[in-house]
Amino acid sequence: MISSAIIYLFVLAFIATSFNTLEKKTSWKIFKYIPSVVMIYAFSMFLASMAVFEYNDEINNIYKLTKTNLLPAMLFLMLLKIDFTHFFKLGKSLIIAYILALVSLTIGFILVAIIFDFNKDMASAFGALAGSWMGGTANMIAVGSALEVSQEAFGYALIVDSVNYTLWVMLLLFLVPFAKVFNTFTKSDENIAYLGNIGCACDMGAKRYWLLIFLGVLVSFIAQVIAENFIILNKTTTIVLLASAFGVLGSFTRLKNINGSSEVATTMLYIIIALIGSKAVFESFSDVGVYVLAGFMILLIHAFIMVLGAKIFKLDLFSIALASLANIGGVASAPILAATYNKSLVSVGVLMAIMGYLIGTFGGLAVGNILMGLTH
């Protein structure tokens, strides 16, 4: 049994590093269906279930301290790469499709919460899931922390995120050859050639990792100091919102030109995921089926509204599919879908997905609080 805080952190860092390296350096097919982030959570959870960690005061304190400090630093660094000027160059069809995706997902979460009569655990878990499906895993953690999701409920939400997302990606890729049929149905103008020079999928130049770590830690400190005296809903929510605001402000400055912010933020994300997994001990998986079914219902409502909107606004399949996956899949999958239409559109997928880093936190918090308000 591990009772030392430093060994506890080392083991979690080793788990995060190992699965990320395996995903990046190997061609194992399992990572196409189960991302490394889920593997990290699952393996940390397995060790916790096997009572490998002794949750003494030392380990409990280092858990809280690490998570509290890394979360705002991660959010700040992830938001530095947002480029609003390029986003608004995407054109009417893609922007309408993106807004439509956000609205349809919001409606889907609310309707499903009413249909399934969510209790507080499910409401908070699906609030966290809304953060992921409007942004990414980092937003899921931020929203989940702010809504104080239980470890078990967060685990269920992560399972839904993985299972439903995987099948959704497969469906959208399957539909690519039917683009012309769909576009004829919606009577859309499918000219997407102008998008080829928008955005950038690259991150060139020297990496300034130490500077980025310093800036992240500084923002984390400032956000926590302010949150001690100025609280919105609760302290964690305040810290999350402040870190996000600092990240957006930083994106308008020369800070966004410092390369390496995505890598540092992702490293912090994986450590946080391992930390959360190390505290998750499932007594039963009996409710996971209900969570997955509710997730599919949300996607079904989302798909219906997207198709209806495409017909009304004469949108092409590329626009609504990319907008959907930029929200639900994020940076990991939106560029892949864009490339199946045209390789020159990869940067468009990246740009739309990065916007989710901003929208996901605020949208997830809004949806989560609505769902909590609907609970019995």
pLDDT tens digits, residue range 162-204? 889 888 988 998 998 898 899 899 888 766 555 555 555 445 5
Whether residue 65 is contained in a domain is answered as no
Domain assignment of residue 161, given as a range: 83-260+285-374
Instruction: Read off the pLDDT of residues 65-115 as tens digits, 9 standing for 90 and up.
Output: 999 999 999 999 988 878 777 777 777 888 899 999 999 999 999 999 999
At residue 201, the pLDDT reads 45
Whether residue 134 is contained in a domain is answered as yes
Whether residue 34 is contained in a domain is answered as no
At residue 283, the pLDDT reads 60
At residue 136, the pLDDT reads 87
At residue 90, the pLDDT reads 78
Whether residue 27 is contained in a domain is answered as no
Q: Which residue is listed with tokens 């999928």?
A: 201
| SS3 (DSSP) at 135 | coil
Q: Does the CA dihedral 85-88-91-94 come out positive or negative?
A: positive
At residue 24, the pLDDT reads 85
Please list the ranges in the chain whose pLDDT falls under 50: 201-202
Task: Say how far apart CA 8 and CA 65 lie, in whole Å.
Answer: 13
Whether residue 17 is contained in a domain is answered as no
Question: For residue 70, how many other CB atoms are within 10 A of its CB?
Answer: 21
At residue 254, the pLDDT reads 87
At residue 51, the pLDDT reads 85
Whether residue 116 is contained in a domain is answered as yes
Whether residue 356 is contained in a domain is answered as yes
Helix ranges restricted to H, the chain: 5-25, 30-33, 36-49, 57-79, 84-87, 92-116, 120-134, 137-146, 151-174, 179-186, 209-227, 235-251, 261-277, 288-313, 317-328, 334-341, 346-374
Work out the mean pLDDT of the chain and round it to a whole number: 87
Indicate the number of domains in the chain: 1
Whether residue 250 is contained in a domain is answered as yes
